[in-house]
Structure 1
């Protein structure tokens, strides 16, 4: 089995999370400058066995696509050309940023630490991945 890598895509920063090789535990990996995301993913899959990508699917409350979906679609096209051998699944990511922030509060992080947007993105990716794992 290979790892599953989750992507919480953002126009500036992108949060990443991965499973263990047995695909049981979702853990935050890092946050990457979105401009460097494809390069980071190419390097990561060359050193780790990745079975699947899971990318957040941002939706509005009325179930329509969020405005950021346009940027995600462009990224997905580049991803499928760069790393065509790894399939991509999508997961509804509504409320993940709010849940990530609440997780930070619940874990006792100080206000200064909770303002770290990169950490919020990484936790959001972990929540997306955990949601995916719960659905399979």
Structure 2
């Protein structure tokens, strides 16, 4: 059985989440420095079966693309060239960062840990994945 991978793409860091093989549970995997993302994905795909990759789609409240979309479009182009057989799907990621911080608060993480942007990115990727799974 294959997993589904979700990316919260950022210009500095990318949060990554993955399902279990039965595609029932979404879990944070890691956060990778974005310049190292393609190498990470290549290695991951060699060791794990992945059915599809979800990439967050940041939008403004009026449904127009956010300013970071131009960077994501370049990533999507590069990804499709490197992994032409891997299906890509976009998922609306509005409010995922706020939801990630709120989940950190709700789980009792101290303020110092909540400032960890890498953890916020990983949780955001998990929320993107959960949105897709349960929609």
Could you tell me the TM-score, scaled by structure 1's length? 0.98
Equivalent-residue separation in structure 1 for 2:83 and 2:41 (angstroms): 9
Quote the residue 1:132 is aligned against.
132
Quote the residue 1:67 is aligned against.
67
Shift of residue 29, structure 1, vs aligned partner: 0.3
Q: How many residues align?
A: 135
Equivalent-residue separation in structure 2 for 1:21 and 1:86 (angstroms): 17
Residue by residue, what CA displacement relative to the aligned partner does 1:104-132 show, whole Å, maximum 9, x if unpaired? 00000001000000000000000000000
Equivalent-residue separation in structure 2 for 1:43 and 1:110 (angstroms): 33
Quote the residue 1:58 is aligned against.
58
Aligned pairs for 1:14-93 (under 5 A) are 14-93=14-93
Shift of residue 91, structure 1, vs aligned partner: 0.4
Equivalent-residue separation in structure 2 for 1:55 and 1:95 (angstroms): 15
Shift of residue 85, structure 1, vs aligned partner: 1.2
Could you tell me the TM-score, scaled by structure 2's length? 0.99
Quote the residue 1:97 is aligned against.
97
Shift of residue 36, structure 1, vs aligned partner: 0.2
Question: What are the ranges of 5 or more consecutive residues in structure 1 without an aligned counterpart?
Answer: none
Equivalent-residue separation in structure 2 for 1:45 and 1:125 (angstroms): 18
Q: CA RMSD in A?
A: 0.5
Question: What are the ranges of 5 or more consecutive residues in structure 2 without an aligned counterpart?
Answer: none
Equivalent-residue separation in structure 2 for 1:85 and 1:45 (angstroms): 12
After TM superposition, what 4+ stretches of structure 1 lie above 4 angstroms from structure 2?
A: none
